[in-house]
Amino acid sequence: MAVTIHEVARRAGVSVSTVSRALAVPDLVRASTRDRVLAVAEELGYQPNRAARGLITGRTGNIGVVVPDVANPFFSAVLKGAHARAREAGQVVFLADSAEDSRVEAELVAAMGKQVDGIVLCSARMGDEELERSAGSTPMVLVNRRKAGLPSVLMDSADGMRQAVEHVAALGHRRIAHLSGPVRSWSSAERLRGLREAAAASGVEAVEIGPFPPTFEAGLPAADLVLASGATAVLAYNDLMALGVLNRLAVRGVVVPAEMSVVGFDGTQVSAMTTPALTTVGMPTETAGRAAVELLLDVLARPEHHSEAARTLPCQLVVRSTTVPPLPQAVRAGAPARLEALT
């Protein structure tokens, strides 16, 4: 049986109100009384019952985080950041995994609604109307999704894509392939936009292939498509897909980076672990997680104030070993024997 505020009050010889105040608004109670109460509370190991508190204050002290897939390193990193920031604020995080299913997602958000003060919704898959409905009942901040009237934390994927394009363009590539991701994803659209703008600006030709699911497996067939496209560099939707490309290229006997440059996206741990190490666009995942709960906390504190706030976090290209200048045309057309001399 847990120790209640009544028990503390009894032992300290005061009323429950005084105990409550001693803990919540110390200045309201005389120093001597407060010290006595605090001592007793400490001794008994008293911890307020959050359910009871929530009942009266209407605040639960919980924040919900919903992601499409916890097992995806991208999201688990966001989750980690969110958890860290929440903990600092004494909030607890509720986790929900929508399994990439927009219906489940909506359901989870609805179910969470009453038990949390607010929700951090990552890469929302649900439609705009559903989103609006959900947001109506619970304060919510979006991560990597934009919706008028809803606060959000965005990662500047378009700019990340620009960096990637400029990088391969600077290396001398003139025809680059892009492997696109989930159609309904905001992030996906942003990257496409960044690609087109940067390609036009840099005077390189971008061939768009896809869409694909953002997985290793999708990268396998995508690699063949890339080879057939005649591109000399490929920008994958994410690191997982890039790994698939790498894998398939190796099977096909295509040497990376000599014969094909490959760029990933997300900057997940694994991108540093391949041989050769993958050039990728680093995403501020953990930072985004932190920023999202930060923003949510703000919204909770003064509701009407920043319903429109959108914070954009920068991406940073990290150049590793999968991007080099393309082979001269003559060599590419030549015999494999000549290639060996180059690698």
Partner DNA sequence: ACAGTCGATGAAAACCTTTGCACTGTGAGC
Partner DNA sequence: GCTCACAGTGCAAAGGTTTTCATCGACTGT
Binding site for a copy of itself (CB under 8 A): 2, 47, 49-52, 54-55, 60, 65, 69-71, 73, 76-77, 79-80, 83-84, 87, 92-97, 111-115, 216, 240, 243-244, 246-247, 250, 269-270, 272-275
Contacted entry of a copy of itself, DNA, none for residue 84, CB cut-off 5 to 8 Å set by kind: a copy of itself
Asked whether the beta carbons of 188 and 182 are under 8 A apart, the reply is yes
Contact residue for DNA among 57, 115, 137, 307 (CB under 7 A): 57
Dist. CA 64–CA 82, nearest whole Å: 10
Contact residue for DNA among 10, 11, 26, 30 (CB under 7 A): 30
Contacted entry of DNA, a copy of itself, none for residue 39, CB cut-off 5 to 8 Å set by kind: none
**Piece of 20-28, 140-148, 220-228, 243-251 that binds DNA (CB under 7 A):** 20-28
Q: Which is nearer to a copy of itself, 45 or 203 (CB)?
A: 45
Q: Which is nearer to a copy of itself, 84 or 189 (CB)?
A: 84
State which H helix or E strand residue 235 sits in. Answer: strand 233-235
Q: Which is nearer to DNA, 60 or 268 (CB)?
A: 60
- Least distance (Å) between residue 21 CB and DNA: 5
Dist. CA 246–CA 223, nearest whole Å: 8
What backbone torsions phi and psi does residue 319 show, to the nearest 5 degrees? -85, 125
Residue 58 in tokens: 């209407």
Where in 55-151 does DSSP place strands (E)?
62-67, 92-97, 118-122, 140-143
* Residue 183: DSSP 8-state: T
* Residue 13: DSSP 8-state: T
Q: Which is nearer to DNA, 20 or 279 (CB)?
A: 20
- Residue 6 touching DNA (CB under 7 A): yes
Residue 315 in tokens: 């991406």
State which H helix or E strand residue 176 sits in. Answer: strand 175-179
Contact residue for DNA among 11, 26, 28, 210 (CB under 7 A): 28
- Least distance (Å) between residue 294 CB and DNA: 23
Residues 6+ apart with CB under 8 A from 319: 167, 279
Q: Which is nearer to a copy of itself, 163 or 322 (CB)?
A: 322
- Residue 287 touching DNA (CB under 7 A): no
Q: Which of residues 147-166 bind DNA (CB under 7 A)?
A: none
Contact residue for DNA among 49, 115, 137, 307 (CB under 7 A): 49
CA distances from 223 to 165, 178, 253, 264 (A): 18, 11, 12, 13
Contact residue for DNA among 26, 42, 53, 309 (CB under 7 A): 53
Contacted entry of a copy of itself, DNA, none for residue 272, CB cut-off 5 to 8 Å set by kind: a copy of itself
Residue 212 in tokens: 């694909």
What backbone torsions phi and psi does residue 58 show, to the nearest 5 degrees? 80, 0
Dist. CA 26–CA 21, nearest whole Å: 6
Residue 308 in tokens: 């429109």
Point out which residues bind DNA (CB under 7 A): 1-2, 4-6, 13-18, 20-21, 23-24, 27-30, 32-34, 46-49, 52-53, 55-57
